[in-house]
Amino acid sequence: MDYFPFFFDLRQQPVLVVGGGQIALRKVRLLVQAGAIVRLISPECLAELEQLVSTNRGIWQKKAFAPADLEACCLVVCATDNAAVNKQVSALCKARYLPVNVVDNPDLCSIITPAIIDRSPILVAISSAGAAPVLARKLKQQLETLLPEQYGKFATFCGNLRDKVKRALPENQRRYFWEKLIAGPVENLVYQEKEDAAHEWVTTNLNVAQQSPALGEVYLVGAGPGAPDLLTLRALQLMQQADVVLYDRLVSDPIMERVRRDADRVYVGKRRAEHAVEQADINQMLVDLAKEGKRVLRLKGGDPFIFGRGGEEIELLTANNIPFEVVPGITAASGCAAYAGIPLTHRDHAQSVRFITGHLKADATNIRWPELVADDQTLVFYMSLQGLPAICEALIKHGKAASTPAALIEKGTTPDQKTYTGTLESLPQIARQESIQAPTLLIIGGVVALQPELQWYKRHN
């Protein structure tokens, strides 16, 4: 994030503008719309600008800029074509920690002016951090078509209801009510100036909400293998809707940035032999939070039902009559293999795929190794880094050729992805030499031999 976005309340606030030409005129128009009281400093001034300032309780001082002019103002806008003046104003303001915008010169700014969509009290601000203003304007044009001109009127209607809703409903029910209101007929009723009907809808639904306490629900959502652009649309919708998020170690930071910002976040990640929260406790936490009336997002790396223990979680939810929804995610096998250029099936190499947990521990003997040695299948081992030597040794022992191609994909689908290829015989040594770190995915089979030719991710990233 190059800039932290703020909305600046300038009503009745003194703002200094240095410059008297067309650029200053454009900025002053915005400032007076925001209620600022403008003091203009410039030896010369356009007649239109002088009139705009004076009719909005501002003043034009016909003189050159001096450091003393920075007294008694909360914001400075420098809009001159004099490079020396621009640098002087910028340096003096920054030395005083006074916000300054030097028009069309981001390097001299401590704040910048975004492209604005005004549906007051709704405001949308778009910035390219000064890198591509034309692109920001294009995005503004696209968003303009999506927001009705009367959107501000509807926002004002909602704002006038806030105290009423706050008095009527406890905190955990208000968000449900607001979402129902926004999705319902009230918006169109307001646009059609049928506010009596809109208020009738509000009263009726507030009464219903008071008589029927909100029942919480749980969403088991697959976050995919790591790249945020591999999230499903439904996953993004629920990530913005949840009140509480329980998330795993494999859920990447860029994905967590898509979660609703005011949602409570609970880390329940697990590493080998190191569990932040035991699975039974996670299951019970989902039930307890839902019974409090909260919408709980259980966010898992990959897919909830592929080595994600989602089945165990919904068993307890079902036993407690908790409503739930399961949203599949792109599992690591699909995502990592695709980014590495390894097709999981191929007419010439593999007609089937097996997903196997590589977290062997004491149940290693439960893996039916003889079933895994056929050459016409691809083997995908999850959580396999620690058990890699044992996996390769067991497959060779049960008849799979030591020369069988194999690959380890580290941090798949992320900018840090690395793919290491070798054979069943050589891959454990490669892993030791390269100090490979989890998370990793192990792929074994003839399809791995296609990787050098098909590695899309390396060519395009």
Q: Which residues are catalytic?
A: 248, 270
Distance (Å, whole) CA 28 – CA 437? 56
Helical segments of 184-211, H only? 186-191, 195-211
Residues ≥6 apart with Cβ < 8 Å to 352? 345, 376, 377, 378
**Is 225 part of any known ligand binding site?**
yes
Distance (Å, whole) CA 396 – CA 444? 12
Type of residue found at 164: K
C-alpha dist (Å) from residue 202 to 64, 159, 169, 244: 58, 13, 12, 27
Residue 348: left (phi > 0), alpha (psi -120 to 50), or beta?
alpha
Euclidean distance between the first and the last CA atom of the chain, given in angstroms as a whole number? 21
Give the CA-trace dihedral at 254, 258, 261, 266, to 10 degrees: -70
**Is 348 part of any known ligand binding site?**
no
Distance (Å, whole) CA 62 – CA 18? 11
Helical segments of 366-461, H only? 388-397, 427-434, 451-454, 456-460
**Is 292 part of any known ligand binding site?**
no
What is the Cα 441 distance to its own chain's centre? 25
Helical segments of 169-309, H only? 171-183, 186-191, 195-211, 233-239, 253-256, 279-291
**Is 383 part of any known ligand binding site?**
yes
**Is 303 part of any known ligand binding site?**
yes
SS3 (DSSP) at 461: coil
**Is 171 part of any known ligand binding site?**
no
C-alpha dist (Å) from residue 236 to 177, 209, 267: 21, 27, 19
**Is 269 part of any known ligand binding site?**
no
Distance (Å, whole) CA 390 – CA 81? 71
Entry field: residues in the chain? 461
**Is 255 part of any known ligand binding site?**
no
**Is 301 part of any known ligand binding site?**
yes
Beta strands 295-300 and 244-247 are parallel
**Is 302 part of any known ligand binding site?**
yes
Annotated binding site for S-adenosyl-L-methionine, which residues?
A: 225, 301-303, 306, 331-332, 383, 412
Binding-site residue ranges: 22-23, 43-44, 225, 301-303, 306, 331-332, 383, 412
Annotated binding-site residues for NAD(+) read: 22-23, 43-44
